[in-house]
Amino acid sequence: MKVLLPSGWAKPKGYANGIAAQGTIVAVGGQIGWNPATSAFETDDFVGQVRQTLQNIVAVLAEAGAGPEDVVRLTWFITDREEYLAQAKDLGEVYRAVMGSHYPAMAVVVVKELLETHAKVEIEATAVLRRDSGSG
């Protein structure tokens, strides 16, 4: 996996401008911050929902034999820009706790609402499962 940083560009903080990778693509559909076993939200807290959303992504990745370090792209859909910006520090802490210090290409899109009424965030992930360790 190679992080793409064009010459002369400032290094981004908390994401990559681009990632080049080769291997099996793992597409994770939009995950939200509910308990996946019960389809119930355990919190209305934005940061809490982000934590659960990321944990749900990691669980789906594990089914493919992948982990957070294999993620090449995340697309976040949020319902409140101001809440996102106001809690950026806490979001960074939650992100690192669940995903580690791997920062893929990311986009954040503000939407009017999400399909699930109580959802404040939905995140899609794309990972590339590399077989360069001789396991594949």
Domain borders along the chain are 23-129
Which pLDDT belongs to residue 1? Answer: 87
Give the distance from CA 41 to its chain's centroid.
18
Which pLDDT belongs to residue 135? Answer: 41
Which pLDDT belongs to residue 114? Answer: 98
- Dump pLDDT digits (tens) for 24-81: 999 999 999 999 999 999 999 999 999 999 999 999 999 999 999 999 999 999 999 9
Which pLDDT belongs to residue 132? Answer: 53
Q: Which fold has domain 23-129?
A: 60s Ribosomal Protein L30; Chain: A; (3.30.1330)
Taking the model in full, what pTM does it have? 0.91
Query: What's the chain look like in SS3?
Result: CEEECCCCCCCCCCCECEEECCCEEEEEEEEECCECCCCECCCCCHHHHHHHHHHHHHHHHHHCCCCHHHEEEEEEEECCHHHHHHCHHHHHHHHHHHHCCCCCEEEEEECCCCCCCCCCEEEEEEEEECCCCCCC
Per-residue pLDDT, averaged over 116-124, amounts to 97
Pick from 14-23, 37-46, 52-61, 104-113: least confident: 14-23
